[in-house]
């Protein structure tokens, strides 16, 4: 730096450029740079060294040739015939042609046969069940058997199951192709139970039936409640159980205005407190007959009378009422 700065000053000063001191400084700088062993500095036409920020490569480096990795044969050609398939395909996964030793084809080719399994997007799009082969399912069952308990001997028949577990819960699961695995229809929950398994009196049973409305099937004696208002299946199940509990307890509630109802206000025909029953007992007493001796005729007259009031007046009910009346009065 000392020689360079003095040399620059000597170069730019007209008084020093031609002097002997200036020439000595330049000569000393050149000799100092040439004394460094093995150094070959580039200089310009005036003798100053050239500063290069990026060194110039003296020779080009020979690049090593990159050899491509060896291509192994597909796995299907190296599989032994006696290997366990569940080790190759243990769980659900996308179709891989090199792992399946089967000539599978999928798709449409207008010029010939269907495309084979290699680079076949149709086979990769659809779900496969290659992991659910019969031996794999049997192995899974054997692994889960140690966590299971034997089936109760008291539940060998369908009647026993309905007796001990009267509440039936029905849900649905769907397998479909969509961006999400959740099907909106899988949230729907249906519960069924026989009405005879609930304890009612005459008032509570009638009120319960009027609350459930069309959800009760009289032929099968089954009440069906369907819930789908909530977004999750668990919420719909809890809501269905809540509805069942609320309906049952509400049916036992007797409002004050219900005690003021007269016979004409009843939703059904009450035979035990009706005038028809009093007339039948008075007739049998007047003819010196006991109700116990004419029990069949009395029950037939009772059923016909209740049908006329509850089911409505029609030719069939009137014919039944006529036959029951004639049998009770004339026999």
120 and 175 fall within a common domain = no
Q: Is residue 228 part of a domain?
A: yes
Q: What pLDDT does 310 receive?
A: 83
Do 171 and 239 belong together in one domain? yes
Residue 12: pLDDT above 70?
A: no
More confident residue, 292 or 58: 292
Q: Per the domain annotation, does 290 fall within a domain?
A: yes
Q: What is the pLDDT of residues 101-139, one digit of tens each?
A: 999 999 998 888 899 999 999 999 888 899 999 999 999
Residue-number span of the structural domain to which 100 is assigned:
86-148
Average of per-residue pLDDT across 251-279: 82
Answering whether pTM is above 0.85, one says no
Same domain (yes/no): 167, 208: yes
In a domain, 183, yes or no: yes
CA dihedral (122, 124, 127, 132) positive or negative: positive
Residues 249 and 270 in one domain: no
Residue 15 has pLDDT above 90, yes or no: no
Considering the domain architecture, whether residues 196 and 294 belong to the same structural domain is answered as no
Banded pLDDT at 34 (limits 50, 70, 90): very low
Asked if residue 166 and residue 129 are part of one domain, the reply reads: no
Long-range Cβ contacts of 276-285 (<8 Å, 24+ apart)? 276/301, 276/302, 276/305, 277/302, 280/328, 283/328, 283/329
In a domain, 293, yes or no: yes
The answer, yes or no, to whether residue 43 has pLDDT greater than 70, is: yes
Distance, CA of 138 to CA of 132 (rounded, Å): 9
Task: Indicate whether 230 and 191 sit together in one domain.
Answer: yes
pLDDT of 208 reads 94
Q: Are residues 93 and 175 in the same domain?
A: no
Q: What is the mean pLDDT of the chain?
A: 83
Domains held by the chain: number? 4
The confidence band for 40, taking pLDDT boundaries of 50, 70 and 90, is low
168 with 241, same domain: the answer is: yes
Same domain for 141 and 162, yes or no, is no
Determine the Cα–Cα distance for residues 124 and 142; give it in Å rounded to an integer.
Answer: 31
pLDDT value of position 292: 79
Asked whether residue 41 is assigned to any structural domain, the reply reads: no
| 4-8, 31-35, 37-41: least confident range | 4-8
Q: Which of 220, 240, 260 is the last residue before a domain boundary?
A: 260
On whether both 255 and 161 belong to a single domain, the answer is yes
Domain co-membership, 255 together with 166: yes
Does residue 297 sit within a domain?
A: yes
The answer to whether residue 322 is domain-embedded is yes
Higher pLDDT, 260 or 201: 201
Read off the pLDDT band of 67 (50, 70, 90).
confident
CATH at 214: 3.30.160.20
Answer with the one of 242, 260, 278 that is the final residue of a domain: 260
Task: Let me know if residue 158 belongs to a domain.
Answer: yes
User: How far is C-alpha 116 from the chain's CA centre?
Assistant: 33
């Amino acid at each position: 730096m000392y020689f360079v700065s003095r040399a620059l000053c000597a170069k730019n000063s007209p008084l020093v450029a031609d002097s002997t001191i200036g020439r000595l400084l330049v000569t000393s700088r050149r000799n100092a740079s040439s004394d460094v062993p093995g150094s070959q500095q580039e200089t310009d036409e005036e003798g100053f060294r050239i500063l290069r920020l990026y060194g110039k490569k003296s020779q080009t480096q020979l690049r090593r040739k990159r050899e491509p990795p060896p291509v192994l044969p597909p796995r299907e050609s190296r599989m032994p015939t006696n290997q366990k398939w569940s080790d190759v395909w243990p769980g659900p996964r996308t179709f891989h042609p090199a792992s399946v030793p089967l000539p599978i084809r999928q798709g449409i080719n207008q010029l010939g046969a269907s495309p084979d399994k290699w680079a076949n997007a149709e086979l990769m799009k659809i779900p496969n069940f290659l992991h659910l082969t019969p031996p794999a399912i049997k192995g899974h069952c054997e692994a889960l058997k140690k966590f299971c308990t034997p089936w109760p001997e008291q539940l060998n028949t369908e009647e026993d199951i309905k007796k001990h577990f009267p509440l039936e819960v029905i849900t649905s699961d769907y397998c479909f192709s969509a961006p999400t695995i959740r099907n909106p229809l899988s949230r729907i929950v249906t519960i069924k139970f026989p009405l005879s398994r609930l304890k009612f009196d005459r008032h509570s049973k009638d009120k319960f039936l009027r609350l459930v409305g069309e959800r009760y099937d009289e032929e099968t004696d089954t009440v069906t409640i369907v819930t789908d208002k909530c977004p999750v299946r668990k919420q719909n199940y809890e809501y269905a159980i809540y509805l069942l509990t609320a309906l049952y307890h509400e049916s036992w509630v007797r409002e004050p205005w219900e005690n003021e109802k007269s016979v004409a206000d009843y939703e059904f025909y009450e035979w035990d407190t009706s005038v028809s029953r009093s007339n039948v007992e008075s007739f049998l007493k007047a003819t010196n007959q006991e109700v116990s001796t004419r029990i069949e005729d009395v029950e037939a007259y009772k059923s016909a009378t209740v049908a006329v009031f509850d089911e409505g007046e029609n030719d069939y009910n009137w014919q039944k009422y006529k036959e029951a009346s004639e049998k009770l009065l004339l026999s």
